Amino acid sequence: MINEKGKITFKQAWVDFWKGYVDFGGRSTRAGYWWIQLLIYLLMFVLLLVFGVQFVSLLGVWAATSFGGALAGFASGMMFWLILVGIIGVIILLPSIALWIRRLRDAGLTNWAIAILVLIEALLSFRDSTTILTSLIIVIFFVITLLPSDALAVARANSSVITQFLFRSSPVVDTETEKQEPQGSFDSESAKSDNSENSVFNEDDDNQKE
């Protein structure tokens, strides 16, 4: 299971991306997620650039030769690039989804919260892909990927059932809460002992006066 913590380099993000091919239960940090997104965007840019250069060259062939020959060359070139993009998309689809879910979990969402938001988005998209609510959910997902680790996590001791259902428990917050509880009990016991000592001293003073 992938559980990224601390500073993640590009190399580590790349290794975790393929190592967690079907890991939907771990955690990926903000750096681990965006290193891969940067790589995917650069890959798409390179593919579009090469396709554009080939398209311009085919236009030159079209101007110099017949329209039929240029059209046949363009169709064969398009088929090649469509197949290449399709293969790359199929290869990175599943690990990209797993990485996305791990990033949302790392930010503080539970699997149930992710499933509910995805289901709502799917139902809204099926009805009308241009609704404001669909766009809002997409923006929410994007903003969550920008949050640091445990940004949405809550202290389980001080949260409601619905909050615990939607947001993951923060180990740091829970640990601090557990540390504070004994201190509070110690303070209360100290206060009780002080009160008892004061009462004893008061009784002695009263006896001496008498």
pLDDT, tens digit (0-9, with 9 covering 90-100), for 72-99? 666 666 777 788 888 988 999 999 999 9
Binning pLDDT at 50, 70 and 90, where does residue 50 land?
Answer: confident
CB 40 within 8 A of CB 116: no
- Contacts within 8 Å (CB) and 24+ apart, 80-89: 81/47, 81/51, 81/54, 84/47, 85/47, 88/43, 88/47
Q: Would you place residue 209 in the very low, low, confident or very high pLDDT band (cuts 50, 70, 90)? A: very low
d(CA 76, CA 162): 55
Pick the more confident residue, 203 or 62: 62
Tokens describing residue 49: 């650039």
Burial (Cβ within 10 Å: 0-12, 13-18, ≥19) of residue 16: buried
Is 199's pLDDT higher than 60? no
| pLDDT band at residue 48 using 50, 70 and 90 as cut-offs | confident
Dihedral, CA atoms, 199, 200, 206, 210, nearest 10 degrees? 150
Tokens read off for 125:
């998209």
Q: What is the mean pLDDT of the chain?
A: 78
Measured CA to CA, the distance from residue 157 to residue 198 in angstroms comes to: 35
Q: What is the pLDDT of residue 69?
A: 59
* Contact yes or no for 149/5 (Cβ under 8 A): yes
Q: Which residue has the tokens 């329209």?
A: 67
Question: How does residue 61 score in pLDDT terms, banded at 50, 70 and 90?
Answer: low
Per-residue pLDDT tens digits for 186-195: 344 444 444 5
Query: Is 86 exposed, middle or buried (CB count within 10 Å of its CB: 0-12, 13-18, 19+)?
Result: exposed
Asked whether the whole model's pTM tops 0.95, one would answer no
Return the number of other C-beta atoms located less than 10 Å from residue 182's C-beta: 9
Q: What is the pLDDT of residues 102-119, one digit of tens each?
A: 999 999 999 999 999 899
CA dihedral 102, 105, 110, 115 (to 10 degrees): -40
Domain ranges of the chain: 1-107, 108-152, 170-210
Both ends of the chain: CA-CA distance in Å? 76
Length of the chain: 210
